[in-house]
């Protein structure tokens, strides 16, 4: 009895086809195990606000603010001076220090018209000594007089040809000022004279 077998060529084709089938199925199985890559959902975010840039401070505005602050104190000091007068030391503390000007070269020279005149020109007021960088104001003025009493008791004088201390009498100086109608303007000093036989407290 003759056995009918499958030719070797057919076995080879069958095995090759089976191998391809297994490989193909295995590949599909591996691909099925891995989930497809997920792309994260894009969340809608509000755009970042643009950075706020502060405007640089205006040097003129800063200078004017500082200048007006000093001028207000200057007015307050002169109001007090006009009401009752200051002694020599009080005047140094209240007027000269508040203006930030060093007039203390000598007791007799600590207030000089030349120094004060730097605030004024004809028809305008310069307050550069009071903290402003550049500021001018033309304004109407009212006139008034401030009397400053200089205590010269510490000044060295001469009596009968001999130097003495404490011989200088109290000297009254009248400063004639024009006060502006506009707020913030310093008084303009129009003149100074020594008051003869004036009461000086």
Reported as a pLDDT band with limits 50, 70 and 90, residue 80 is low
CA gyration radius, the chain: 48
Residue 118, domain member (yes or no): yes
Q: How many CB atoms lie within 10 A of CB 78?
A: 21
More confidently predicted of 41 and 124: 41
Please state whether the predicted TM-score (pTM) of the whole model is above 0.85.
no
Distance CA 120, CA 186 (A): 9
> Residue 118: which residues within 8 A CB-CB, separation 6 or more?
126, 128, 129
Predicted confidence (pLDDT) per residue in 122-149, tens digit: 333 333 333 333 334 444 556 666 666 6
More confidently predicted of 29 and 74: 74
Whole-number pLDDT of residue 194: 72
Over residues 84-93, the mean pLDDT reads 49
Residue 102, domain member (yes or no): yes
Nearest to 188 by CA among 148, 131, 149, 136: 136
Name the percent of the chain lying above pLDDT 90. 0
Residue 185, domain member (yes or no): yes
Residue 46, domain member (yes or no): no
User: What's the domain range around 188?
Assistant: 68-194
Residue 45, domain member (yes or no): no
Reported as a pLDDT band with limits 50, 70 and 90, residue 48 is confident
Whole-number pLDDT of residue 5: 46
Whole-number pLDDT of residue 106: 31
Contact between residue 109 and residue 116 where contact means Cβ atoms under 8 Å apart: no
Total number of domains in the chain: 1
Backbone φ, ψ for residue 185 (5° rounding) = -95, 135
Q: Could you give the 3-state DSSP secondary structure of residue 104? A: coil
Residue 123, domain member (yes or no): yes
Helix/strand/coil (H/E/C) assignment for every residue in 129-174: HHCCCCCEECCCEEEEEEEEEECCCCCEEEECCEEEECCCCCEEEE
Nearest to 64 by CA among 137, 118, 140, 123: 137
Q: Could you give the 3-state DSSP secondary structure of residue 194? A: strand
Reported as a pLDDT band with limits 50, 70 and 90, residue 119 is very low
Residue 13, domain member (yes or no): no
- Most confident among 34-38, 46-50, 68-72, 114-118 (mean pLDDT): 46-50
Residue 19, domain member (yes or no): no
């Amino acid at each position: 009895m003759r056995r009918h077998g499958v030719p070797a060529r057919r076995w080879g084709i069958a095995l090759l086809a089976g191998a391809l089938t297994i490989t193909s199925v295995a590949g599909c199985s591996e691909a099925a195990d891995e989930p497809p890559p997920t792309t994260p959902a894009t969340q809608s975010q509000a755009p970042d606000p643009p950075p706020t840039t502060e405007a640089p401070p205006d040097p003129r505005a800063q200078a004017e603010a500082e200048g007006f602050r000093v001028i207000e104190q200057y007015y307050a000091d002169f109001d007090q001076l006009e009401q009752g007068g200051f002694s020599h030391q009080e005047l140094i503390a209240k007027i000269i220090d508040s203006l930030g000007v060093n007039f203390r070269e000598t007791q007799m020279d600590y207030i000089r018209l030349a120094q004060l005149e730097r605030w004024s020109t004809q028809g305008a007021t310069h307050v550069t000594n009071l903290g402003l960088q550049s500021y001018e104001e033309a304004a109407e003025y009212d006139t008034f007089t401030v009397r400053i009493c200089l205590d010269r008791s510490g000044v060295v004088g001469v009596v009968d040809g001999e130097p003495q201390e404490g011989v200088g009498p109290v000297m009254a100086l009248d400063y004639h000022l024009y006060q502006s109608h506009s707020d913030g303007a310093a008084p303009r000093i129009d003149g100074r004279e020594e008051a003869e036989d004036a009461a000086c407290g």
